[in-house]
Amino acid sequence: MPLGKRELARIERRLITTLTEACETAKGEIEGFTWLTHTADMNALAETLKVIWVFETLANKKLAQANAKARIVELTAIALNEAGINLNLSDRNFRFDSEEECQRTHGGNWKNRLAQTSADKGN
């Protein structure tokens, strides 16, 4: 049976809270990390959840992909678990991005960037 609007809203609030905790932890541990966000259709969370980890520069992003990906996966898994979301994480649930790339390609407009990149990837 599908979840009701109220329960979906509760799940979303819990997810935001736990991802915020992951974000604050990452800021202290991962060089150049600045913030994160997520996109998802709450009615199809397992198929559509994408957590976007944003870094200051392209160089910071590449360094994190090489050296901190395991920690980012771990922080995301902890956040999902604490939010009560049972999901086997895969690479399709993550995206690394940077302020520098958004500024260059979208004039710093994250709303447009997130909408375009979701559409480009079929999410």
Looking at residue 122, what DSSP letter applies? Answer: T
pLDDT, tens digit, for every residue of 25-73? 999 999 999 999 999 988 888 889 999 999 999 999 999 999 999 999 9
pLDDT for res 120: 62
Q: What predicted TM-score, i.e. pTM, was given to this entire model?
A: 0.90
pLDDT for res 44: 87
Q: In this structure, are residues 96 and 65 in contact, taking their beta carbons and an 8 Å threshold?
A: yes
Question: Degrees (nearest 5) of the Cα angle 17, 23, 26?
Answer: 145
Determine the residue type at 70.
A
Sheet holding 50-55, edge to edge: 33-39, 50-55, 94-98
Q: In this structure, are residues 98 and 55 in contact, taking their beta carbons and an 8 Å threshold?
A: yes
Domains of the chain: 5-120 (3.30.300)
